[in-house]
Chains A and B, each alone.
Chain A
């Protein structure tokens, strides 16, 4: 078969099938299947609407968008006006909107009158007032006065449908956007239309509140003020707010957000509209989790340890102390950057470590990690661009997605929404290699390959994969030796595409910036001399050390042993490390610790000098999301409490050390990194670590399975009580057979030798035997966070009921 014959049909398929019609006398051509309401938008005509939402299935419920269709394309018209949100265009169709049709205009005015007869008209005290589609369209498309002089429907108000969301039924216009979102998009049908007729309302069941990671979206798409959040209710008026488009700092999904501020304070965040990434959605963590910098633990001045106590210091003094300590250490220093920095800040650390301190001891990974992972990243993540990476659009088009050590709903929620969309479209099949089918997996109708942690590699080799398959592997893969090697091999063998999706927003950018012990900026392998020459010449240095750097774990261990004399630490929580106790010991024992932080932490407590760093909302820059897509961060709050960014602090330290960071603004850093470009040389080989097989649970203990749930004790959720209250309750899961073996019980104590976690027991259908799953960071009130990584054996003890209750 010739190339032409092969490519021709594809070419044709790419061209949309255009349909020509006339709207208000204007000819317009739109793709086949376009709804009239959207075709009208193409010529700039906004037909009023409430229930219509481009990302939800058409419903035709509110009847606001009536248009006159004198010719349906077949020479015959409709005798009555039609809802333009449910009717697709047809060739030769003639549509008259309210702009040219008195019938359509009257139908629309009549509908607005109906919608207002039972509306409380409490706009002056309504959160939505000023940005309300009902208010706006009443002014643009309605009559000034109502003829209704009778009794309005009234309900007690508001009612809480979750800890975060309140419902005012009197304001509701029953468009069902919220209930359709919860069912169609996120798969959480815990709000439903209840009752009927004039009494119809949105409702929940008493003991099952609206439990969804995506609940805030229903507030945003509500066309009236019926749904409000506990967080923002009565906080501001829309017309007093200034909106800034920015990106979410929490996870690697990379959502565009709209951040609204007043009086130098963010009042709320909304999902931005980025069709290629988050469409119009965000998760609740991204929406509500912006209060973490508002507590008394915010650091606003440099601190210096004097007589064993951290005390406020001037900037010059703190810089002096830091420079002194770092000079003492020489190149026996380690740099831990954490996974939450912008690319610009990460690049500043990278250059500071290698160019100023002269060390390759830099690692952004503040989580369980391995050398195998570093090799995997070098081979599959570093030096890539959006163009040669798996993208959201590829998830839409994939036939089969395999999830390995990855729970998208918890660990990258927008990836979850995309997968769910494709599953709902009927085009995608999902397989998950996991100890049990999580709620997210169930909502993806995922086929479960139930394995204990450590069994993933073997399970993966048993799967049928093809070129239409995409393997999504999570950062937890690093906890299982051989798994990332197996993933690489499976991809190479089958032609399946591969994407690594870390949790934190800054990880992919940190890799690009060179915050890895084995990688220079731009994905350059440190071991490659040409790569080092590239970077050295760009930085104006004579040479760069080729000595292999230490990973984060190794740095902390080396600090404890005295091999390293100093650490420079950005946003890192030692409890997140794979070896939390060792990490704490390392910080404790390190000769000298410089902490650059926003808030007091386990690191600042152990630091010798602390520099206050700006919050994300106070600076600009960008992230790279899991697709390697640039996600711009904008300054939202200009009147900052700590005006120095990580980069400015590092530049000041470099200056004081008689060196030069090379840039001191995000724009300059970005230009510097762009000029350096991406490595186009030989790419590092995939790791080939053998699968050691997995540990088996015994009578003495069960294999631990665990991951971070989206809403947990993360400090990113601090000070947002309603958000925390919507977290899923922490439970310990075991298979029914394992539960029987434990003996019937309601509560168990999971112990990993050092820490105890007391949780209600939830026997879980189809779960692999001999495994216990607990949330990784359940938070206070549940006991301590375990220090073990998944795949190790922990002790599970039955807790007598009275003790369990008492705890």
Chain B
């Protein structure tokens, strides 16, 4: 697979100016200013501020760019340069739930390619699109640092591990039906916008949900426990590790 090479870019270089809608109000502006105030130099807050813009407008809106530029005292072009650089910033409204299927080499080989095709077919949309009902948007992801759980699907940046076509179907059905879904290594799903708000730096109080670790994260530890292995006792260190070297 991989036949998705694009070479013509008719509409690149900017956010979607045709959609001028925005829900940014005085509260949002106050929060944006609060973010700017958290850093030794305010411009450092730009990435979090754009996350917050997304949580309010469902995308990086033109007004969001203008407000950020105004608060930080930089040009709109400078904000636009940042907003178009990072892949988490969306040009068009994402769905209530944003689904990403990892298709970097390992996940792709382990089945991620199949899962992405399956999700596209099931949702009836292409990557980068949102279902007409607005519930789910879909994208192809690059490696999400969960390779020991491959193939991996992300929903609102929560992990869904060791996915198969069947579990992917179930997940998508649940999302489309607005059923409650919990990440096996995270919290109960809220929405992509709510997630963006947390990423902006406004916690949602869900940190204590979910487990300490997934099964793969614990594999080595459980083997060590089974074998009674561990780090040396600092008060009773083993002889220097020449033997280890000799192996």
A–B contact with Cβ pairs below 8 Å: the answer is: yes
Q: Which residues in chain A, 599-642, are within 8 Å of chain B measured between CB atoms?
A: none
Once the chains bind, are B14 and A203 in contact (CB under 8 Å)? yes
Bound Cα distance A195, B14 (Å): 8
Bound Cα distance A803, B145 (Å): 62
Stretch of B71-79, B109-117, B163-171, B222-230 lying at the A interface:
B71-79
**By CB atoms of chain B within 10 A, which of A192, A193, A196, A201 has the most?**
A192
- Residues 184-221 of chain A: 1 if any B CB is under 8 Å from the residue's CB, otherwise 0? 00000111111110010101111110000000000000
- A192-B77, A192-B80, A208-B75 given as contacts; is B85 within 8 A of A152 (CB)? no
Does B210 sit at the interface, judged by CB under 8 A?
no
Partner of B5, one of A151, A192, A194: A151
Inter-chain contacts of B8 with A (CB < 8 A): 153-155
Does B41 sit at the interface, judged by CB under 8 A?
no
Partner of B12, one of A152, A191, A193, A201: A201
Bound Cα distance A73, B109 (Å): 48
Chain A nearest CB from B151 CB (Å) reads 24
Does A156 sit at the interface, judged by CB under 8 A?
yes
Once the chains bind, are A203 and B13 in contact (CB under 8 Å)? yes
- A205-B14, A206-B14, A206-B62 given as contacts; is B9 within 8 A of A192 (CB)? no
Inter-chain contacts of A153 with B (CB < 8 A): 7-9
Chain B nearest CB from A168 CB (Å) reads 13
Once the chains bind, are B12 and A155 in contact (CB under 8 Å)? yes
Chain B nearest CB from A774 CB (Å) reads 25
Bound Cα distance A123, B37 (Å): 50
Once the chains bind, are A189 and B84 in contact (CB under 8 Å)? no
- A151-B7, A155-B9 given as contacts; is B75 within 8 A of A194 (CB)? no
Does B65 sit at the interface, judged by CB under 8 A?
yes
Bound Cα distance A169, B12 (Å): 11
Once the chains bind, are B85 and A205 in contact (CB under 8 Å)? no
Once the chains bind, are A205 and B77 in contact (CB under 8 Å)? yes
Chain A nearest CB from B126 CB (Å) reads 18
Partner of B9, one of A191, A193, A199: A199
Does B39 sit at the interface, judged by CB under 8 A?
no
Inter-chain contacts of A196 with B (CB < 8 A): 84-85
- A194-B14, A195-B85, A206-B17 given as contacts; is B7 within 8 A of A189 (CB)? no
Chain A nearest CB from B209 CB (Å) reads 34
- Residues 150-191 of chain A: 1 if any B CB is under 8 Å from the residue's CB, otherwise 0? 011111100000000000010000000000000000000111
Closest to A210 in B: B77
Closest to B73 in A: A442
Bound Cα distance A151, B6 (Å): 9
Q: Which residues in chain B, 57-92, are within 8 Å of chain A measured between CB atoms?
A: 62, 65-66, 74-81, 84-85
Does B3 sit at the interface, judged by CB under 8 A?
no
Does B10 sit at the interface, judged by CB under 8 A?
yes
Inter-chain contacts of B9 with A (CB < 8 A): 153-155, 199
Once the chains bind, are A192 and B78 in contact (CB under 8 Å)? yes
Once the chains bind, are A203 and B7 in contact (CB under 8 Å)? no
Bound Cα distance A185, B180 (Å): 56
- Residues 17-47 of chain B: 1 if any A CB is under 8 Å from the residue's CB, otherwise 0? 1000000000000000000000000000000
A-B contact count (CB 8 A): 69
Once the chains bind, are B75 and A205 in contact (CB under 8 Å)? yes
Inter-chain contacts of A151 with B (CB < 8 A): 5, 7
Bound Cα distance A206, B65 (Å): 11
Closest to A204 in B: B77
Chain A nearest CB from B245 CB (Å) reads 28
Once the chains bind, are A205 and B65 in contact (CB under 8 Å)? yes
Once the chains bind, are A201 and B13 in contact (CB under 8 Å)? yes
Inter-chain contacts of A156 with B (CB < 8 A): 10
Bound Cα distance A394, B13 (Å): 42
Interface size class of B (residues with CB under 8 A): 20 to 34
- A195-B13, A196-B85 given as contacts; is B77 within 8 A of A152 (CB)? no
Once the chains bind, are B13 and A194 in contact (CB under 8 Å)? yes
- Residues 253-269 of chain A: 1 if any B CB is under 8 Å from the residue's CB, otherwise 0? 00000000000000000
Bound Cα distance A495, B76 (Å): 44
**By CB atoms of chain B within 10 A, which of A154, A199, A204, A205 has the most?**
A205
Inter-chain contacts of B66 with A (CB < 8 A): 207
Once the chains bind, are A194 and B76 in contact (CB under 8 Å)? no
Inter-chain contacts of A152 with B (CB < 8 A): 7
Closest to B13 in A: A203
Once the chains bind, are B5 and A199 in contact (CB under 8 Å)? no
Inter-chain contacts of B12 with A (CB < 8 A): 155, 195, 199, 201
Inter-chain contacts of B13 with A (CB < 8 A): 169, 194-195, 201, 203
Closest to A207 in B: B76
Chain B nearest CB from A181 CB (Å) reads 14
Bound Cα distance A192, B85 (Å): 11
Closest to B17 in A: A206
Bound Cα distance A169, B9 (Å): 11
Chain B nearest CB from A166 CB (Å) reads 14
Once the chains bind, are B75 and A192 in contact (CB under 8 Å)? yes
Once the chains bind, are A154 and B7 in contact (CB under 8 Å)? yes
Chain B nearest CB from A524 CB (Å) reads 52
Bound Cα distance A152, B5 (Å): 11
Partner of A192, one of B10, B62, B81: B81
Closest to B77 in A: A192
Q: Which residues in chain A, 316-368, are within 8 Å of chain B measured between CB atoms?
A: none
Once the chains bind, are B5 and A203 in contact (CB under 8 Å)? no
Chain A nearest CB from B59 CB (Å) reads 15
Inter-chain contacts of B80 with A (CB < 8 A): 192, 194, 203, 205
Chain B nearest CB from A180 CB (Å) reads 13
Bound Cα distance A196, B65 (Å): 18
Bound Cα distance A192, B200 (Å): 24
Closest to B87 in A: A196
Once the chains bind, are B84 and A194 in contact (CB under 8 Å)? yes
Bound Cα distance A195, B12 (Å): 8
Inter-chain contacts of B84 with A (CB < 8 A): 194-196, 203
Bound Cα distance A194, B60 (Å): 14
Chain A nearest CB from B224 CB (Å) reads 41
Bound Cα distance A193, B85 (Å): 9
Chain B nearest CB from A187 CB (Å) reads 10
Bound Cα distance A773, B8 (Å): 48
Chain A nearest CB from B171 CB (Å) reads 30
Chain A nearest CB from B46 CB (Å) reads 13
Chain A nearest CB from B67 CB (Å) reads 13
Chain B nearest CB from A643 CB (Å) reads 48
Inter-chain contacts of A201 with B (CB < 8 A): 12-13
Once the chains bind, are B76 and A203 in contact (CB under 8 Å)? no
Once the chains bind, are B77 and A190 in contact (CB under 8 Å)? yes
Inter-chain contacts of B14 with A (CB < 8 A): 194, 203, 205-206
Bound Cα distance A204, B13 (Å): 8
Chain B nearest CB from A577 CB (Å) reads 39
Chain A nearest CB from B26 CB (Å) reads 18
Bound Cα distance A154, B62 (Å): 25
Bound Cα distance A195, B15 (Å): 10
Closest to B9 in A: A155
Chain A nearest CB from B199 CB (Å) reads 20
Inter-chain contacts of B65 with A (CB < 8 A): 205
Inter-chain contacts of A205 with B (CB < 8 A): 14, 65, 75-77, 79-80
Inter-chain contacts of A189 with B (CB < 8 A): 74-75, 77-78
**By CB atoms of chain A within 10 A, which of B8, B62, B78, B85 has the most?**
B78
Closest to B85 in A: A196
Bound Cα distance A90, B223 (Å): 55
Can you name 20 A-B pairs with beta carbons within 8 Å? A151-B5, A154-B8, A155-B10, A189-B75, A190-B75, A192-B75, A192-B77, A192-B78, A194-B13, A194-B84, A201-B13, A203-B13, A203-B14, A204-B77, A205-B14, A205-B77, A206-B14, A206-B17, A207-B62, A207-B66
Q: A153-B8, A195-B84 are in contact. List 14 more A-B contacts (CB 8 A).
A: A154-B7, A189-B77, A189-B78, A190-B77, A191-B77, A192-B77, A194-B13, A194-B80, A195-B13, A195-B85, A196-B84, A196-B85, A205-B65, A206-B62
Closest 4 interchain pairs by CB? A205-B76, A192-B81, A151-B7, A192-B77
- Chain A residues near B (Cβ < 8 Å): 151-156, 169, 189-196, 199, 201, 203-208
